[in-house]
Structure 1
Amino acid sequence: MGDIEIVMAMLQGMFIFFLIAGLTCLLSKRLGRRMGRARCSRYMESQDRFVIGQDKYLEIVRIGERILLLGVSQSGIHLLAMLEDNDMIELEKRQPGHNSFVTLLEKMAEKKEELP
């Protein structure tokens, strides 16, 4: 009888452990979804992010029809450029040997020369 009681106590403990682990998993998934929704915006959308270093990255943000290239660091957020849809070239669609960074800089230099 002593062995059966030990086995039953172990099974009971395992059942309680798995029940608590399962509930914790479900709860964390639900909270994660809610936290994700809290970050959504009706008017802005993050298009892409490129990490440069620790706490430093470039962020492309679409606000309505405007596309902004932002530099983000510990010192603050800086507007680097306003982009257009034709400036947004997806990496998969690039042609081999096509250097889009240089092309983007050339376009920005042309736009800067056009400004009064």
Structure 2
Amino acid sequence: MSFKFENLRIWHIAMDFGEDLHNLSKNFPKDEVFNLTSQVRRAADSIALNISEGSILQSAPEYKRFLSYSIRSLAEVVTCLHKAKRRKYIDGNQFQTQYNQAYNLMNMMVSFRSKIK
């Protein structure tokens, strides 16, 4: 037995992405713990959380709304990555790796959302 969302590839990718961001943010300065560290972790976790929450809804418009929340959270993560790079908490390679993952996940979520009827 499993929940519907556990069979979704985008949920698994979002889960991995959240863990990657959590681990990356462990290296942020301690004075960012209540600011950028917390923000990027909450936004990254929100991606998978909204995918799963939306999957249990019965109507397509509601499901699409929760996928839109996930996409917004992903955009928030990308902004946090830019902030982290500007503040020199991550280097260019770390930024590009996470940015590419975010871009691919964004495209997958937008495509998935457009197929929901």
* Range into which the TM-score falls when normalised by the shorter chain: under 0.3
More helix by share: 2
TM-score, scaled relative to structure 1 = 0.25
For the pair shown, the structure with the greater C-alpha radius of gyration is: 1
TM-score when scaled to structure 2?
Answer: 0.25
Higher relative contact order (CA 8 A, sep 6+): 2
